[in-house]
């Protein structure tokens, strides 16, 4: 289990660095959008390439942050049911969900995306919009994002098993996946 936990820590660290770094892509996308809009209004000139660049940047931020979001245990759950169970049962639910839902879906996406990206790359596929960008980098972002999510899913499975076995402490004790604001808790009482 020690080697698996070391692998899990490595995956977590990589996704942590990438997840925090991609927030800058949003700023860049906003700047590209502002410049594009200004140039269009002031000089009456428009560019599909700049518009598509915005989409690429937003897509990259979303896809690369998905693994980080899973690492932070912030993906959406139905808390009405989930929160009613003990922390131990929640770990078993998470493990079941990761093994039987997350990993098969991500594996299927990787299986389907690889030939999709390779066909686009080999053919030099370009946007159908006039002056648009090449498409394979955007499609490659999908493949990379799902590969990162696959690795983080593997890390989460390792950690869930280790927590259930008692090998490591629960990284989100008592509060589950969201911390609660002490002020909100006082007001609720």
Give me the residue spans of the domains in the chain.
1-76+85-165
Q: Which residues, other chains included, contact 125 with Cβ-Cβ below 8 Å and sequence gap of 6+?
A: 119, 134, 135, 136
Q: What is the tens place of the pLDDT at every residue in 20-79?
A: 999 899 999 999 999 989 998 999 888 888 889 998 999 999 999 999 999 998 877 777
Give, as one character, the DSSP assignment of residue 178. S
H, E, C per residue of 68-89: HHHHCCCCCCCHHHHCCCCHHH
**What pTM value is reported for the model?**
0.83
Q: Which residues, other chains included, contact 104 with Cβ-Cβ below 8 Å and sequence gap of 6+?
A: none
Which one, of 69, 106, 73, lies nearest residue 91 by Cα? 73
Q: What is the tens place of the pLDDT at every residue in 92-143?
A: 999 999 999 999 999 999 999 999 999 999 999 988 888 889 999 999 999 9
């Amino acid at each position: 289990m020690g080697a698996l936990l070391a692998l899990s820590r490595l995956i977590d660290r990589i996704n942590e660095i990438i997840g925090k770094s991609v927030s800058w892509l949003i700023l860049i996308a906003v700047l590209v959008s502002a410049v594009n809009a200004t140039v269009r209004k002031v000089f009456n000139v428009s560019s599909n390439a700049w518009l598509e660049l915005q989409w690429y940047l937003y897509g990259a931020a979303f896809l690369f942050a998905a693994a980080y979001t899973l690492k932070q245990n912030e993906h959406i759950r139905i808390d009405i049911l989930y929160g009613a169970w003990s922390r131990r049962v929640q770990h078993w639910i998470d493990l079941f969900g990761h093994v039987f839902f997350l990993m098969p879906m991500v594996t299927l996406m990787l299986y389907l995306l690889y030939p999709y990206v390779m066909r686009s790359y080999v053919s030099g596929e370009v946007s159908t919009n006039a002056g648009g960008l090449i498409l394979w980098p955007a499609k490659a972002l999908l493949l990379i994002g799902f590969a990162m999510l696959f690795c983080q899913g593997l890390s989460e499975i390792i950690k869930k098993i280790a927590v259930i076995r008692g090998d490591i402490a629960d990284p989100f004790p008592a509060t589950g996946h969201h911390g609660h604001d002490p002020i909100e808790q006082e007001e609720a009482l």
